[in-house]
A and B are shown apart, each in its own frame.
Chain A
Amino acid sequence: MIIEKLIFYVFAAILVFAAARVISVRNPVHAALFLVLAFFSSSAIWMLLHAEFLAITLVLVYVGAVMVLFLFVVMMLDINLAVLREGFAHYLPVGILVGLVILAEMLMVVGRWQLDKNVVKTAVETGSNTEAIGKVLYTVYVYPFEIAAVILLVAMIAAITLTMRPKRQNKYQKPEQQVNVKRAERVRLVKMPAEPRE
């Protein structure tokens, strides 16, 4: 148990540190990498809660795919953070105020929170929580699940609509034509009689 607690505090500390660094480092690539670290540590904490499916999916989806693309974009863009940070001091008081209000609310909601012990217990007891999640996802939550799927479809349609140019500038291959090429179209065997020796 004590080891489990130790592991929790180590990962929680890393998580808080990484999350703080995400918004405080100057280099956007570093910020993205710290975000990766934050995802990773939170996944480890989920793992401690025996939520292995969620933990691994977090790594797989966010770290393995989303953040890779994110880094891809951040590395391509030459972001000048000095310009972005210009109004920082100017907005700071408002920011702090909003932060304090949100903190106060959090305390009000979470402070009185009575954690339902059964929630955690059932998750552990069912064994494979992949199966458990799958079972509710496709029965109880099938309606929201499908709507979420439609939202992703819309995102896909939107991305394609906004970026695809129908007339391609570059020359591209048509594999179906390449495959159908016959020998006769490319090579012509010419029979030539040998020249007689003088």
Chain B
Amino acid sequence: MLETLITLVTILIKIVLIVAPLMLGVAYLTFAERKVIGYMQVRIGPNRVGPRGWLQPIADAVKLMFKEIIIPTNANRFLFIIAPMLAIAPALAAWAVVPFGETLILADVNAGLLYILAMTSLGVYGIIIAGWASNSKYAFLGAMRSAAQIVSYEIAMGFTLVGVLMAAGSLNLNDIIKAQSGGFWHWYWIPLFPLFIVYFISALAETNRAPFDVAEGESEIVAGFHVEYSGMLFAVFFLAEYANMILVSALAAIMFLGGWLSPFQGMGALDEMTAWVPGLFWFVAKFSVFLFLFLWLRATFPRYRYDQIMRLGWKVFIPITLVWIVVVGVAVLAKLPPWFV
């Protein structure tokens, strides 16, 4: 009995160790977003709260916490309140199988990749339930758009994961990383390049980020699914969106850029010089690149129109992934070096 208790407590501690930095990361990602977009638009961004604006996210959080939560008339109270939680829970739960280092992992399960795919596909419930429970046209429109968009892009995303699975021969994320060991030219972004691109763009669409943010579309449907939300409930949606961004970036890093592997593996002197750097550093560095891309794209691209999003997903991405899966299959069978030996 005591043993079980101890295991439970250690698991809880591990969860806290993952979630707390993640939440901090989310807070500072919002800050980074405002700063990055600010600089891209030749302004400074937030700079009043704390030194150079560093305390801005904290101030935002405090503000949101003390705001009133308004529940619209005729809204479905229970679903209205539970929707943000449904949005954030899968975004956090998915981190359970993400490897931060060779042994730094909460649950080293066999079907890790599948688990992540399942969890990310659940995020959409928060959005559609929020849209429906709000009893508001705009929110409902946003929810409908989001549901159609996410289901469409999930197919393309699923196929890219199939490509990775075929290349690595395993659904275990650590095995996928280990299959890419041996310097950055061994990583899967080279042999799976089309899938890599498709994955990243689908990830943008799955997280409802610009230029695929029609579910929010503040210029058309005000704020889409969360137009009726305020205070902490709104903040939870916000957290979920950014936690999802970090998650898909981390996944891209794991599947295509070798996760916690050092880019200098097998480079002799350079490898030895950087041997002291922990895998966690490389991992964070890799997914930060993707996060920066997210922000960059938001600052650069105008929003796609709804039918354009659908066309891109169904008529471009799905065929590309299907073709490339066949190519990967041939490459794996032919044991194409240096990736598939």
A63, B140: Cα distance in complex, Å: 20
Given contacts A71-B128, A72-B128, A172-B307, contact A64 B144 (CB under 8 A): no
A76 partner, pick from B110, B114, B144, beta carbons under 8 A: B144
The chain B residue with its CB closest to the CB of A128 is B110
Chain A residues within an 8 Å CB radius of B150: 68
For chain A, give the interface size range. Answer: 20 to 34
B118 adjacent to A64 (CB under 8 Å): yes
Q: Indicate if the CB atoms of A3 and B151 lie closer than 8 Å.
A: no
Measured CB to CB, the nearest residue on chain A to B111 is A52
Q: How far is the CB of A34 from the nearest CB of chain B, in Å? A: 12
> A155: shortest Cβ distance to chain B, in Å?
15
Alpha-carbon gap, A3 to B8, bound state (A): 11
Q: A60-B114, A68-B151, A130-B110 are in contact. Are A75 and B132 (CB under 8 A)?
A: yes
**Residues on A with beta carbons closer than 8 Å to the beta carbon of B109:** 52
Interface residue A18 (Cβ < 8 Å from any Cβ of B): no
Q: Which residue from B79, B115, B144, B154 sits with its C-beta under 8 Å from A72? A: B144
Task: State whether A56 and B114 are in contact (beta carbons under 8 Å apart), knowing that A64-B121, A75-B132, A173-B308 are contacts in the complex.
Answer: yes
Chain B interface extent, by class: 20 to 34
Q: At the interface, yes or no: B122 with Cβ under 8 Å from chain A? A: yes
Partner of A75, one of B115, B144, B170: B144
Q: Is the CB of A52 within 8 A of B110?
A: yes
With A65-B154, A68-B124, A172-B307 given, is the CB distance from A75 to B140 under 8 Å?
Answer: yes
Q: A76-B144, A173-B308 are in contact. Are A53 and B111 (CB under 8 A)?
A: yes
Query: Which residues in A have their C-beta under 8 angstroms from that of B117?
Result: 60, 64
**Minimal beta-carbon separation of A117 from chain B (angstroms):** 23
- Residues in A whose Cβ lies below 8 Å from that of B121: 59-60, 63-65, 68
Beta-carbon contact of B110 and A69 below 8 Å = no
A57 adjacent to chain B (CB < 8 Å): yes
Does A14 count as interface, using CB distance less than 8 angstroms? no
- Interface 0/1 of A52-83, CB less than 8 Å to B: 11001101100111001101100110000000
A36 on interface, CB distance cutoff 8 Å: yes
Specify which chain A residues have a CB less than 8 angstroms from the CB of B154 in the assembled complex: 64-65
**Contact call B114/A68, Cβ cutoff below 8 A:** no
Residues on A with C-beta less than 8 A from B143 are: 75
Q: Give, as a whole number of angstroms, the nearest-CB distance from B324 to chain A.
A: 20
Residue numbers in B under 8 Å from A33 (CB-CB): 79, 129
Check if B151 sits within 8 Å of A130, measured CB to CB: no
A–B complex contacts, Cβ < 8 Å, 14 sampled: A33-B79, A52-B109, A56-B111, A59-B122, A60-B114, A63-B122, A64-B118, A64-B121, A64-B122, A68-B121, A72-B148, A75-B128, A127-B110, A173-B308
The residues of B with any CB-CB pair to A shorter than 8 Å are: 4, 79, 109-111, 114-115, 117-118, 121-122, 124-125, 128-129, 132, 140, 143-144, 147-148, 150-151, 154, 170-171, 307-308, 311
Interface of A toward B, CB cutoff 8 Å? 3, 29, 33, 36, 52-53, 56-57, 59-60, 63-65, 68-69, 71-72, 75-76, 127-130, 172-173, 175
